[in-house]
Amino acid sequence: MGDPHPNESAAAGAEPEQTTGSRFRDGGNQAMVEASADGIVAVDEQGIIRLANPAAEALFARATGDLVGSAFGAPTVVHQTSEIDLIRPDGRARVVEMRVTATTLHGKRIYVAALRDVTLRKQAEQDLEVALERQTTVVAVAAHELRTPVAAIKLLVHLLRDRRSTLREEQTVEIIDQIVAHIDRLQALMHKLLTASRIDAKDIRATPEPVRVLEVLLEQLAGFGEKAQDVSVSCSPELVAFVDRYELSEMLTNYLENAFAYGCPPIEVRASEQAGWVEIRMCDRGPGVPDAFVPLLFERFSREPRAGQQTEGTGLGLWIVRSLTRANGGDAWYEPNGDEGACFCLRLQGTPNT
């Protein structure tokens, strides 16, 4: 077993006095090393590289002549597989799996390190862990958000069934309206979860086209019924954004839902052209957003703690807005609305000829 060298990263960056590696280069050994798919380096007992194959040259992003005679910089422990961070000259890191064996060459003890680049594999493993964690969170959020409306619908349906003969017509209508409202909430929740899944699966393929902003805005307001009377709109009928029409609808709907849930009227929507871009600002007169929470506003499943007991929501809406906006070449952000209230903003591409 070789003594571990002090540096845990195989940077091969230190340049001690050059020592020739020619005596380690007989034809048979050289041919075997060069034929390996892994990067192979032979390291002497002082931790100096004496031989490197072309795969090692590519892995280290350094010429073999530069590697030979330099310090290896990673522990060479025989019969042990370990992972090391290899730092290239350009500063980029690779994750390398290293297996070390020992042999004697020309009477000299030498350690042979087989190096395999596992960067992509490690990234895939990390992505899988994140995806699984996210999936668990999605399931937990869905279960939590589904429980209340499902329980309410069940209660109301039982009420209709058990007391249908004694309920007055207006009571029956009121119960049915409540059931419809809970079903609408369930549909909205499922829509958000499906949209989030599409974003995660990178299935958002924006197809930008010239879209009249006012038309889409009025279409979305129409879906909010009486709440729309608290909204004032300032937008030229001729204002056109270059955006996926369906995804613009999603952005505006989520912003409106956010304003109705957390803000207070009056709610103002102002859309205008700014230096070739289309800016849409949705401002309310609510309590605004605490400074400490602003950096988290557009994060997935992020909800301001004090709103938890007062409003319903998944913490997905603003994250969906920003994801869709960026997929369309724009951006989304928050600004305070003067001394009180909040402004949620969109910047979208103007039409190509603007």
Matching CATH number, 122-200, of 3.40.190.10, 3.40.50.2000, 1.20.1280.260, 1.10.287.130? 1.10.287.130
pLDDT score recorded for residue 9: 46
Asked whether residue 108 carries a pLDDT value surpassing 60, the answer given is yes
Q: Which of 21-35, 215-229, 256-270 has the least mean pLDDT?
A: 21-35
SS3 of the chain: CCCCCCCCCCCCCCCCCCCCCHHHCCHHHHHHHHCCCCEEEEEECCCEEEEECHHHHHHHCCCHHHHCCCECCCCCCCCCEEEEEEECCCCCEEEEEEEEEEEEECCEEEEEEEEEECHHHHHHHHHHHHHHHHHHHHHHHHHHHHHHHHHHHHHHHHHHHHHCCCCCHHHHHHHHHHHHHHHHHHHHHHHHHHHHHHHHCCCCCCCCEEEEHHHHHHHHHHCCHHHHHHEEEECCCCCEEEECHHHHHHHHHHHHHHHHHHCCCCEEEEEEEECCEEEEEEECCCCCCCHHHHHHCCCCCCCCHHHCCCCCCCCCHHHHHHHHHHHCCCEEEEEECCCCCEEEEEEEEECCCC
Give pLDDT tens digits for 138-193: 566 666 567 777 888 888 888 888 887 788 888 888 888 888 877 877 777 777 77
Gap between the Cα atoms of 224 and 172, Å rounded:
24
pLDDT score recorded for residue 141: 61
Q: Are 222 and 228 in contact (CB under 8 A)?
A: yes
Residue 129 zone, left/alpha/beta (φ > 0; ψ -120 to 50; rest): alpha
Give pLDDT tens digits for 270-301: 999 998 999 999 999 888 888 888 888 888 77
The CATH number of the structural domain formed by 22-117 is: 3.30.450.20
**For the chain, what percent of residues have pLDDT higher than 90?**
21
Gap between the Cα atoms of 43 and 126, Å rounded:
32
Q: Are 213 and 221 in contact (CB under 8 A)?
A: no
- DSSP strand pairing (342-349 vs 277-283): antiparallel
- Homologous superfamily, domain 209-349: Histidine kinase-like ATPase, C-terminal domain (3.30.565.10)
For residue 203, how far is the Cα from the chain centroid?
Answer: 14
pLDDT score recorded for residue 193: 72
Amino acid at 318: L
Mean pLDDT of the chain: 79
pTM: predicted TM-score of the whole model, two decimal places: 0.53
Peptide bond into 237 cis (omega under 30): no
Asked whether residue 257 carries a pLDDT value surpassing 50, the answer given is yes
pLDDT score recorded for residue 284: 93
pLDDT score recorded for residue 21: 40
Residue with tokens 């102002």: 270
pLDDT score recorded for residue 335: 93
**Mean pLDDT within 256-271:** 91
Gap between the Cα atoms of 219 and 228, Å rounded:
11
**Mean pLDDT within 111-139:** 75
Q: Where in the chain is the domain with CATH 3.30.450.20?
A: 22-117
> Which of these, 156, 10, 172, 153, lies nearest to 76 by C-alpha position?
10
pLDDT score recorded for residue 202: 66
Q: Where in the chain is the domain with CATH 1.10.287.130?
A: 122-200
Asked whether residue 58 carries a pLDDT value surpassing 60, the answer given is yes
**Mean pLDDT within 77-92:** 82
pLDDT score recorded for residue 213: 95
With bands split at pLDDT 50, 70 and 90, how would you rate the model's confidence at 269?
very high
Residues in the chain: 354
Amino acid at 287: P
Asked whether residue 340 carries a pLDDT value surpassing 90, the answer given is no
**Mean pLDDT within 305-319:** 64
> Which of these, 240, 210, 235, 204, lies nearest to 321 by C-alpha position?
204
**Mean pLDDT within 34-55:** 81
**Max mean pLDDT range (75-84, 93-102, 117-126):** 93-102
**Mean pLDDT within 90-98:** 85
Paired tokens of 260: 């109705």
Asked whether residue 137 carries a pLDDT value surpassing 70, the answer given is no
Gap between the Cα atoms of 227 and 261, Å rounded:
11
**Mean pLDDT within 225-244:** 93
CA distances from residue 310 to 47, 115, 258, 303, 305 in whole angstroms, order as listed: 64, 56, 13, 12, 10
